[in-house]
Structure 1
Amino acid sequence: MVGVDNSLPTVSVITVTRNLIDEGRAEAIRAALEDVQEQGCAVLEHVIWDGASTDDTVKLLRELTAEIEARPNFVPIRFQSLLDKSLYDAMNRAVEISQGEYVVFLNSDDLLASPDCLQKAREEIGSNRPDFCFGRTFFVDEDGRKRLSRERKVHSILQRIPFCHNSMLIRREVFDRFGGHDLDFRIVADYDLVLRMLFAGCNYQMLSVPIAVFHPGGISADQRRTALEMTRSWRKNYAPFLVGRTYSDDEMLNWFRKGQLPLEFCVSLLFQCWDRPQLRRAALHSLMVTLRRKLQPWRTWDYFAE
């Protein structure tokens, strides 16, 4: 492609779809495709995986692809429509056919933050080539107004993912090494993947440029279902640091409700991972949050009420 800087990492944008026509999202996917095209040579390809739609989604996507490919200097579109097991299975299978050094996931009804955000991300990554990196996110309120997320640090990861999945670029090789998203999770597989990467010692970079425009909602908006899956991910990833203690499902759900992790877990993780700065900072952050909240009995926290 003309204008490609071979010293910078290549990026594949991944979008998964299914039955967009029936869901009234035809214009949204058109906007998403055009948004990727605006990125120009910053994007190696736009990979679209359709989960064997039963409406006219495949026809629409083929028509939109043909329109785009009739233009000069278009971003190539790699399209596949096959039955998959779930949203995260579709993402995993789309990555399998991608060719970029990094992948970024763009939902069919979301957008990229600006026409040059991926080029700026590539420039910031430069020769660093972190295992994953992330930027901030514009969230769209119900009235259509956009608000920019606060700058978040990874050290808050033990309680919940501190950045939007759509604002994260992951090295394809790293994604493959970890087996992609764990299909045992239908809501928080992205969070589980980040936890696994951090506990394995992967390095990351925080980007200054916002990456995605996200419309909140969908299955992840169900706080209780999300919490139940998060407790399963915590059991899976925190088991070596629970100092022989067995916690009930209700106890772990209360961790989510209050935004507090057990002091003994935080201390155990802190000392067992003292030589791993990323986890040490995360353990210390969670320890301080829990201590501070325990010293404020007049205040209550309930993330189920959000």
Structure 2
Amino acid sequence: MSAPSETENTPLVSVITVTRNLIEAGREDAVLETLRGVQTQSLRNIEHIIWDGESTDGTQELLKGAIGGIAGNPDPIPVRYFCGPDKSLYDAMNKAVDLCSGEYVLFLNSDDRLPGPDCLQKVSTIVGERRPDFIYGETVFVEKDGRERHARRLTLKSVLQRMPFGHNAMLVRASVFRELGGHDLQFHSVADYDMILRMIMAGYKGLRVQVPLSVFQKGGVSADTAAAGSEMARCWEKNFAPYCDISSYSHDERVEWYRMGQFPIPVALKILRQSIAQPVIARAALYSLAKSLRRSVQFWRRY
């Protein structure tokens, strides 16, 4: 992936929203709210990148009209619109990062929202001049019935087993994302987890901020648990290879790890032994080992 040239006016954050046939999906009001939420941010040193995957239902015209209206406002946050073919949601995100100018990128789905007008300003104030490789914050999950659940507990110790924080509640340096090669397109539902796992295993440094960064509508690509379990099984085989060969376990056995939320004790032990020089991974392996040991003596559990 190639980075755009740097200028004095480089935005701090590129908010990235990818779209395709939103009108057909009944999501036109949601994406307009997403656009408005970015425009209300008190932090003005940002840009909004819209990548549309060649919508055929009028979404292109909807977006162009909304963006034209924003451009006519006083002091608008720049919105840069691109339209072209893509292979998937994650391919669209990769393409958008290639086109963005910001120091950090934040993925904001077309039916998700920023929690409030000051959320990015709060992050900027907390981060100051530290400039970590990635920043992760809180997520507000919205159920289909409208109920909200605010996820405030943020920790990297669960990263070997599942997403440690919301993909849409993370700001990652654009240069880091490109160095990692972006999302791995062999995964259709867990490419976000795979990218975060690779980033942490590669030793990139993160900063936790106790600030809500995403209002996330439950559902979507990763909501298919059967597909996610199958992909997680392949993701673990790919990423655990430097620490532990798990090829002796069948694909179905690894899918069962996902369902149970734990690894076999030998797997956790091997990762722990091989990750002593990587404190974040070692702590995650120790957490996984403790969880597996605790559950091994809870004979009444089925999972």
- For the aligned pair, the TM-score class normalised by the smaller chain equals over 0.9
User: Within 1, Cα distance between the matches of 2:58 and 2:245?
Assistant: 54
2:268 corresponding residue in structure 1: 266
User: Within 2, Cα distance between the matches of 1:42 and 1:76?
Assistant: 9
Q: Deviations along 1:166-203, whole A, 9 cap, x unmatched?
A: 10110000000001100111110010001111111111
2:239 corresponding residue in structure 1: 237
Change in Cα spacing, 1:86 to 1:141, as seen in structure 2 (3 Å) is same
1:41–1:75 CA contact under 8 A, matched in 2? no
Aligned-pair identity in percent equals: 50
Change in Cα spacing, 1:43 to 1:216, as seen in structure 2 (3 Å) is farther
2:163 corresponding residue in structure 1: 161
User: Within 2, Cα distance between the matches of 1:51 and 1:226?
Assistant: 23
Secondary structure of 2:157 counterpart: helix
Alignment of 1:1-306 (within 5 A): 10-243=12-245, 246-301=248-303
Q: Deviations along 1:50-78, whole A, 9 cap, x unmatched?
A: 00001111101010001000001100000
> Once structures 1 and 2 are overlaid, which stretch shifts more, 237-246 or 257-266?
237-246
Query: Structure 2: 5+ residue runs without aligned partners?
Result: 1-7
User: Within 2, Cα distance between the matches of 1:77 and 1:245?
Assistant: 46
1:3 corresponding residue in structure 2: none
State the TM-score, normalized to the length of structure 1.
0.93
Query: Structure 1: 5+ residue runs without aligned partners?
Result: 1-5, 302-306
Which letter maps to 2:101? Q
User: Within 1, Cα distance between the matches of 2:57 and 2:45?
Assistant: 29
Runs of 4+ off more than 3 Å: 40-43
> Following TM superposition, by how much is the alpha carbon of 1:142 offset from its aligned partner in structure 2, in angstroms?
2.3
RMSD: 1.6
1:304 corresponding residue in structure 2: none
User: Within 1, Cα distance between the matches of 2:51 and 2:172?
Assistant: 18
User: Within 2, Cα distance between the matches of 1:150 and 1:135?
Assistant: 8
State the TM-score, normalized to the length of structure 2.
0.94
Aligned residues: 296
